[in-house]
Amino acid sequence: MRPGRAPALAVLALALAPAAARAHAADLIAVSVSEARPSVQERMVMVGGTLSLLVPVDADGDGMLTPEELASKAAALEVGVWDAVPLSAGGQPCRRTSTAAELREGLVELRAAFTCPEGELRQRFRALEVLPPNYRVVVGRSDVSAPQRFAQGTDETVVIPEPTEAGSPQGKAVSGFSGWIPVGAVHLFTGYDHLAFLAALLLLGGTWRRVLALVASFAAAHSTTLALSALGVLPLSATGARVAGVAVAASVVYVAAENLFGKDHPHRAWIAFGFGLVHGFSLASAFERYAPGKAAVAGLLGFNLGVELGLACLVLALFPMVQLAARRPASFLWIHRAASAAIALAGGYWVVDRLLAFR
């Protein structure tokens, strides 16, 4: 192996640590629309941290929003949120007639009523310009069955989907099995806690047979709880979803610490399976944010397949580098320790950050 290849593994693993500040549980804004023209109703749901990036609503800076703080910022919410997501119909702007804000189980629900002319509804989410690039807006309807649309990055404009609409060049329709596959893959690669856990598993090294056993155990477990939770057999409350997030972060710390201090790992496949059950609940929570109340089996299967394809790509990219680095035991020992320590620190950050969210 050339000398430059071994450090590359450490760089890849260490790169996970700065991503700790971007836990994927908070990078979504869900929008639902209903209409009886000329009236159009819109409901927007996000976590308090997201709202604070748009409007300084946390007056005392304690990280907790209160109904009183929301009420005192009503005018600022109109400017910082609703003015930043203009709605139009038939090329003409809709007139906003009322707004409201409410806290619901740790989330912020913003509502607005509009009067709109006839024509195709479009909404431009200029608010994305002030949010980190990983943020995504999911737009759907609450009054009819229709495909969902995404807005992200510079793709700010969404055509509000019609019941019979097959698709549009503006926005991204998500429906059916194949449409959900890329959503699952993208979610895995932006789910930094899942990536850190998998990287910690792979850093143990060994043979392809051993790695495949670990990955298969993890995949079987998270697929099971993802399906059971998303289909309502084992539903999670908002508090349960937050507990699952803490447990996922703790799994990252545990596996990384075991890499550092453990000598033999005969039960690593069972550990991967046990923690995989927890990761599945976290994935289900994410899937339900993408498709609130509409966990169709085809969509769920496509989302899960996308997650598994992303998992396979990670293994195929990272594990050969682990094997190459392992050919130099002295260098690999340093890489193994440094990368495991970095992953443990990232996991520790997530544990603390998510526990503080319970305050």
d(CA 94, CA 339): 53
d(CA 13, CA 208): 19
- Residue 329's pLDDT is what? 78
- Residue 277's pLDDT is what? 93
Tell me the mean pLDDT per 10 residues along the chain, length 359: 40 37 60 86 88 85 80 90 92 91 84 90 92 86 72 86 47 61 82 87 80 90 90 79 87 90 76 91 79 65 89 88 80 83 91 76
- Residue 172's pLDDT is what? 47
d(CA 303, CA 207): 29
**0.75 surpassed by pTM:** no
- Residue 165's pLDDT is what? 39
- Residue 14's pLDDT is what? 38
- Residue 287's pLDDT is what? 80
Is the bond preceding residue 147 a cis peptide, omega within 30 degrees? no
- Residue 111's pLDDT is what? 92
d(CA 6, CA 1): 8
